[in-house]
Amino acid sequence: MNNSNLQPMKRIQIAGTGFLICIGLIVLGVYINKGLQSFSNKERVVTVKGLAEKKIKATAATITINSSFSGDLPNELVSYVNNQTNQIAAYLKEQKHSDLKILDPDIYDSKTYYDWTWRDGKQIQVKKDRYRVSQNIVIPVSDVEKAEKISKKFSLNLIAKNYAFDISCSYTFPELNDIKPELIAESTQNARLAGEQFAKDSQSKLGKIKTASQGQITIAGRNYYYDEESTLSAPAEPYFEKVRVVSTIVFFLED
């Protein structure tokens, strides 16, 4: 075959190769474009917060009556405390509270009989009691709504008997871990509803979750201190607590 016949065939081969390269570049461009669009879509996100609150009632209440005396003779103080504790316990049993528990006495030794104070611009040494002995009576109360009323009744009657004491009422609430899953699920659902509304307003669709974080759990109640800037208010009743969970979720937005 002569050279004149080979040249047209080479031209055809070159043209065919060029055509295939062009097709390949076009196809590659389409996929790159789709990839860029997909990447762009993945970067379209919305961040929303979901709130869940629940009012939790105490499961039990406890009234604690503390008798306490101070002095320099510990044996004498123990006798005083035991005597008053037994008298108070007898009164409580008369009030149909026989399931009370008397704890062992606690003895505090300050290791010194003197203290320093200021008087007339001068620092002087004053006598102080070295020992303090205290003992608690613990009364369980199943009706949490009546615990405060019962405590006040005890207080007034014991004051009338000239007893020296401190009285307090505390409550037992369900474990936080028992109620947390329910609150997290509710806060997540509320976050999704907020995200769906945003997507609707922006003519998009809510996609999958990109990131999620559970915010700090806030508890408001008589025995909890919380940020003054918090909008979570404590319940009026001492036997209730309010628990709040805020979840922050980032969703993808899709066309």
* Number of residues assigned to the chain: 255
What pTM does this model have? 0.71
Q: How many CA atoms lie within 13 A of 136 on its CB side?
A: 11
Q: Can you give the CATH number for the domain in which 99 is found?
A: 3.30.70.2970
Position 40 pLDDT exceeds 80: no
User: In the structure, how many helices (H) and strands (E) does the chain have?
Assistant: 4, 11
Q: What is the tens place of the pLDDT at every residue in 152-163?
A: 999 999 999 999
180 shares a domain with 250: yes
**Does one domain contain both 162 and 231?**
no
Indicate whether 179 belongs to any domain: yes
Boundary residue ending a domain (154, 172, 190): 172
Residue 193 has pLDDT above 80, yes or no: yes
- Mean pLDDT lowest among 24-38, 77-91, 211-225: 24-38
CA angle, 156 as apex, 150 and 158 as ends, to 5°?
Answer: 100
Q: Are residues 86 and 158 in the same domain?
A: yes
In a domain, 20, yes or no: no
Q: Which domain holds residue 121?
A: 60-172
User: What CATH code is carried by the domain that includes residue 196?
Assistant: 3.30.110.170
Of the residues 172, 190, 211, the one at which a domain ends? 172
Q: Of 254, 249, 245, whose CA–CA distance to 195 is shortest?
A: 249
Residues 226 and 206 in one domain: yes
Which of these, 41, 43, 50, 48, lies nearest to 195 by C-alpha position?
48
Report the range of poorest mean pLDDT among 5-14, 63-72, 194-203, 214-223: 5-14
**Do 159 and 83 belong together in one domain?**
yes
In the chain, how many domains are there? 2
Token pair for 117 = 């104070």
